[in-house]
Amino acid sequence: MTVDSCTIRNTSFDFPGVQNVYHGKVRDVYDLGETLLMVASDRISAFDHILPKSIPYKGQVLNQIAYHFLQATRDIVPNWLQASPDPNVSVGLKAESIKIEMVIRGYLSGHAWRTYKAGGRVLCGVSMPEGLQENDKFPTPIITPTTKASEGHDMDIAVAEIISQGIVSQEDWNVLEKYTRALFARGTQMAAERGLILVDTKYEFGKVGNQIILIDEIHTPDSSRYFYADGYETRQAEGTPQPQLSKEFVREWLIAHGFQGLEGQEMPVMPDEFVWEISNRYIELFEIITGQSFVKADVANIEGRILANVETYLRLG
């Protein structure tokens, strides 16, 4: 089975009632009027670029992990999800998107570490303590929002700028911060129960009328970083790397091959062996974080399977 034969990269479904289609970095969103239908493709992005090869079962993993966590956090914040008629598909409420991403970090990793290592001690207006090493835990999780760019890079932004630019009101910011910290606390608890550490993640919100709701995916390896709890303290004391379940290792592979999304850099093509390694890591995270066995969907004709399942859902719904 080749990579191309068992992945879904681009979609162009003609679902009943579709008014518009938006093709994101990894998901294709079909506007059905009052609801949205999201198809999780097998595309993978890094440094705000879509990589040339798709990852088998990645869309199914992301969709089903997001479903797991959206169901498990409804008591904290209302969310958009209504149904999942196919392993790669979610259907839910259409909301007016709030144009910031709520990034929350419990540990000094990834972008925060790269900033810190370069001498920066302030990220998005938030001070980071002196004397930390990579992957150390922050005394209190920090929120480092970014603007949501329709094209190109998302940009770091401080809370004061968000308010002064009128992106959200102070009242709405207070709600977003409250929800973000509560969701991160729940995600941290759920990860700990599975022997993991939720390092950092991001949440996206929207409005239905005046109500703020959680939208998009949450706590997936595309939006989150996880460490293994077992041995974390020992590795920190010894200064050795923390193995992680996220797509940071994909970024690290790209960096090692001369690509960080900068102008003039050529995107390297991943060998199939590495593509399957990524696929296996996504499946591993699903099983660890949910405690469920991953059941691979039939990929002989993914487009046909999705179309049949969605049309059945819409007809019965």
Mean pLDDT of 234-257: 90
Q: Which position has the token pair 């008591």?
A: 75
Question: Does position 248 have pLDDT exceeding 90, yes or no?
Answer: no
Backbone φ and ψ of 17, nearest 5°: 85, 5
| Interval 21-32 mean pLDDT | 93
Q: Find all residues with CB under 8 Å of 106, minimum gap 6, and list them.
A: 137, 138, 141, 184, 188, 197, 198, 199, 200
According to DSSP H, which parts of the chain are helical? 58-72, 110-117, 159-164, 170-193, 232-238, 248-256, 272-290, 302-316
Question: Please, where are the H alpha helices in 203-301?
Answer: 232-238, 248-256, 272-290
Give me the mean pLDDT over the 184-211 stretch: 96
Closest Cα to residue 245, out of 72, 109, 56, 71? 109
pLDDT in the model for residue 151: 57
Binned at pLDDT 50, 70 and 90, residue 143 comes out as very high
52, pLDDT greater than 70:
yes
Interval 146-197: pLDDT, tens: 997 655 567 999 999 999 999 999 999 999 999 999 999 999 999 999 999 9
Q: What is the pLDDT of residue 139?
A: 98
pLDDT at site 155 = 92
Task: Work out the burial of residue 13: count CB atoms within 10 Å of its CB; fewer than 13 is exposed, 13-18 middle, 19 or more buried.
Answer: middle
Is residue 1's pLDDT more than 80? no
Q: What is the mean pLDDT of residues 285-290?
A: 90
Strand partners, 244: 227
Instruction: Report the C-alpha gap between 215 and 69 in whole angstroms.
Output: 12
Mean pLDDT, the chain, whole residue set: 94
Mean pLDDT of 130-140: 98
80-117 pLDDT, tens per residue?
Answer: 999 999 999 999 999 999 999 999 999 999 999 999 99
* Contact criterion met (CB below 8 Å) for 228 and 195: yes
Average of per-residue pLDDT across 217-237: 93
pLDDT of residue 149: 64
Residues 6+ apart with CB under 8 A from 102: 143, 145, 176, 177, 179, 180, 202, 203, 204, 205
- Domains defined for the chain, CATH in brackets: 4-96+250-316 (3.30.200.20), 97-247 (3.30.470.20)
